[in-house]
Amino acid sequence: MRALIIAGHIGIESLTNDLLPDADVAELRRGTGARGEREWTGAFAGLLRDALAQAGVEARATDCTYSAALYATWRPEVVLNCHLHRDDDGGPGGAHAAFAVPDPFLALGDLWESARLLDRLMGAYTQRTGILVTQRIVTTRMTQNYLWSFLPPGAAAVIAEFGNLNDAGDRTVLYEPAIQRIVTYVRDCVMEHGDLPLPGEEPLRRRAADVAPAPQPADSADLVAADLERIVARVRKL
């Protein structure tokens, strides 16, 4: 299994029109992130890459200039775009963690796999890390992130805002040593998504409920359309 971990906002100043001929590159270059975000995403991407590699996953960490040319020789099955934010002061009613998938302009397989990974990441994030998942900051800046235009076919892609740097409670988890809670949880989600045994566990037989539906035959287009409609409706509610 191959996983790509993108350290959000790192290298943003290096974007060129060669990479993004149809984008407002000057505007993108100004997106340097929240104060302290790039330092965190760089450190986190390295920690997660190492944790995945130690568990047998072929993992790479990169900055946000990763392009289609690089996917030509190395195609990850999982792409995780990592961020933090300072959108408000946090607290019980504030913004904390948020997760999103790309807008449903991807092929059915991509959208299905992305939604499956999203479910895993959101499922026990609060329980395992102590940071609330509020989804308050899910906007087009996440779902239409420019990096999604580079996704290879078949990739499960999620953009994650792992917490709020303005919230004292979130900060206690976002830095060492508690950051390992996030690293371990995300590693486990990626491995479970790929049906891989977690470190220290024996391989388990795949459960039917965790297996994505097999590709439908050509004469079952109505079933495929129904699947797509259901998944898109679900993603739009997030």
The two tokens of residue 210 are 């965790």
First and final CA of the chain: distance in angstroms? Answer: 27
Count of CB atoms situated within 10 Å of the CB of 75: 15
Q: Which of 42, 182, 167 is nearest to 99 (CA)?
A: 182
pLDDT along the chain (238 residues), means of 10: 88 62 58 75 94 96 75 87 87 88 64 92 96 87 71 87 93 94 97 91 44 39 47 51
Q: What is the pLDDT of residue 150?
A: 73
Say whether 96 sits in a helix, a strand or coil. Answer: coil
**Which pair of tokens denotes residue 110?**
């991509």
Rounded Cα distance between 45 and 24, Å, is: 26
- pLDDT score, position 87: 84
pLDDT value for 43: 92
pTM comes to 0.77
Half-sphere exposure of 80 (CA within 13 A, CB side): 33
Predicted pLDDT at 175:
92
pLDDT tens by residue, 22-81: 566 656 555 556 787 888 999 999 999 999 999 999 999 988 776 666 777 888 999 999
Q: Domains, the chain, ranges and CATH?
A: 2-212 (3.40.630.40)
